[in-house]
């Protein structure tokens, strides 16, 4: 035990002196920001990603994420490098696994990226390394899946290597909260694992919050996103109810928001998108089914959110009927393919489902998204059109799905014959309909 404590003291000293080398496995929306933050804090960082385009971009100091400006590279000097070779693992002191955890085709958690990363790390694991899983995942993953893989060749956690969990809390495009000033939850398999995980992130994050176990940290992360998904579902259901009452859901929410306590405003939209909010609640619900428990509120919220693109389709159909047009052969301009403003991420984006439904009904559909120049939908490649007066004038209906800054700073609303606004982004006018 004294040897471990001594080694732990050395780790703390080396971390404080920025002598610990850090590896970040996965350079996507969560991995690149954490890699840059560590490098900006004075650590030597090696990003590891099997995508050669990402590796080249980091080496050439090019940004490939809308919310990570290339200027951030100016503050890292030569401290940040990247590779696609897992052999680099053996030369690093601490590893942070930031690989994606999508849903499978059956809408169950796909942990294959975590398993693959853990196996690659295990093949190059060396004495005294710290491994921290950051990927969002179901409760128990760190100790039930990652730990056995790392111990497969006889190494023992807490003695030969150290294993922790510290969930990402990235909110792309958020101007206020970044990796550095968002409190970081940390947990470890053993006390020494927790201590080292806390020491590592204390060098980059202003507030580190230790919890008692990795499963608590895993579940807390899921609860955070489930909280948002459920409350968005409530806002979406409010929109459905207000539609029948003939009043504005947005006005109702604004009125309720004047209460200074016990209310947190959430707003309706065309559905949920991204790799967290629509996906994470399923991780929790799927895990609990193994224990014979049905997460009814989560399942109901998912159903409400998943139906919003169909509700948008109905609003479009009703709006067209008011001017004597069917969906078939009408010309549509969809503003926004990304799931939220300011990002290029189309994962689970409700815009794609709205597009799919309009195409299936014979609509002549174009989309405009300055951050998504092209996309593939059901095997067909689509290119973004320009945001121009001509495009607005030639459309029978403009559907606002993502309120990108470009659309708001250079408004062309008065050029449209008909607008269906799903984001409350357009000023009131005779040609505007809202969900």
- Token pair recorded at residue 180: 């550095």
**Choosing from 242, 276, 368, 397, which is the catalytic residue?**
276
Cα 340 to Cα 297: distance, rounded to the nearest angstrom: 24
Helix, strand or coil for residue 109?
strand
Strands 331-335 and 364-368: parallel
78: Cβ contacts below 8 Å, ≥ 6 apart: none
Cα 303 to Cα 421: distance, rounded to the nearest angstrom: 22
The closest of 68, 92, 67 to 82, measured between CA atoms, is: 92
Q: Going along 222-379, which residue ranges are E strands? A: 331-335, 364-368, 374-377
For this structure, is 397 an active site residue?
no
413: Cβ contacts below 8 Å, ≥ 6 apart: 419, 426, 427, 429, 431, 432
The closest of 158, 271, 166 to 218, measured between CA atoms, is: 166
Q: Which of left, alpha, beta for 336 (phi over 0: left; psi -120 to 50: alpha)?
A: left
Strands 208-210 and 184-188: parallel
Please compute, for residue 291, the number of CA atoms within 13 A of its CA located in the half-sphere on the CB side: 9
- Token pair recorded at residue 325: 């047009």
Strands 380-383 and 374-377: antiparallel
The closest of 23, 133, 31 to 89, measured between CA atoms, is: 23
- Token pair recorded at residue 221: 């992360």
Is 72 exposed, middle or buried (CB count within 10 Å of its CB: 0-12, 13-18, 19+)? middle
The closest of 162, 223, 160 to 189, measured between CA atoms, is: 162
**Which residues are part of the catalytic machinery?**
276
């Amino acid at each position: 035990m004294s040897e471990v404590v001594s080694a732990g003291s050395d780790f703390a000293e080396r971390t404080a002196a920025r002598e610990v080398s850090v590896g970040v496995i996965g350079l996507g929306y969560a991995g690149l920001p954490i890699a840059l933050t560590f490098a900006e804090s004075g650590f030597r960082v090696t990003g590891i990603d099997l995508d050669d385009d990402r590796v080249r971009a980091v080496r050439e100091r090019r940004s490939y994420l809308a919310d990570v400006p290339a200027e951030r590279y100016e503050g890292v000097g030569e401290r940040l490098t990247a590779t696609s070779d897992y052999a680099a693992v053996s030369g690093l002191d601490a590893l942070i696994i930031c690989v994606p955890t999508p849903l499978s085709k059956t809408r169950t958690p796909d942990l294959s990226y975590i398993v693959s990363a853990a196996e690659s790390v295990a093949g190059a694991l060396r004495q005294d390394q710290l491994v921290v899983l950051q990927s969002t995942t179901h409760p128990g993953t760190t100790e039930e899946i990652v730990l056995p893989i790392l111990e497969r060749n006889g190494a023992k956690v807490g003695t030969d290597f150290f294993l922790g969990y510290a969930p990402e809390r990235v909110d792309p495009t958020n101007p206020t909260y970044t990796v550095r000033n968002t409190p970081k939850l940390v947990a470890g398999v053993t006390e020494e694992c927790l201590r080292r995980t806390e020491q590592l992130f204390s060098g980059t994050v202003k507030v580190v919050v230790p919890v008692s176990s990795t499963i608590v940290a895993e579940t807390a992360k899921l609860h955070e996103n489930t909280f948002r998904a459920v409350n968005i579902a409530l806002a979406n259901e409010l929109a459905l109810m207000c539609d029948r009452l003939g009043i504005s859901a947005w006005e109702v929410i604004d009125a309720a928001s004047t209460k200074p306590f016990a209310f947190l405003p959430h707003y309706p939209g065309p559905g949920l998108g991204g790799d967290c909010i629509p996906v994470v609640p399923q991780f929790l619900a799927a895990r609990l089914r193994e224990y014979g428990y049905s997460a009814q509120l989560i399942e109901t919220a998912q159903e409400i959110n998943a139906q919003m693109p169909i509700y948008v389709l109905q609003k479009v159909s009703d709006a067209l009927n008011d001017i004597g047009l069917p969906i078939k052969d009408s010309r549509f301009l969809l503003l926004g393919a990304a799931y939220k403003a300011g990002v290029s991420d189309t994962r689970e984006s409700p815009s794609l489902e709205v597009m799919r439904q309009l195409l299936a009904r014979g609509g002549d559909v174009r989309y405009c998204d300055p951050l998504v120049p092209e996309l593939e939908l059901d095997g067909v490649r689509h290119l973004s059109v320009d945001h121009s007066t001509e495009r607005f004038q030639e459309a029978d209906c403009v559907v606002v799905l993502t309120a990108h800054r470009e659309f708001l700073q250079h408004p062309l609303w008065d050029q449209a014959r008909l607008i269906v606004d799903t984001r409350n982004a357009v000023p009131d006018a005779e040609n505007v309909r809202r969900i």
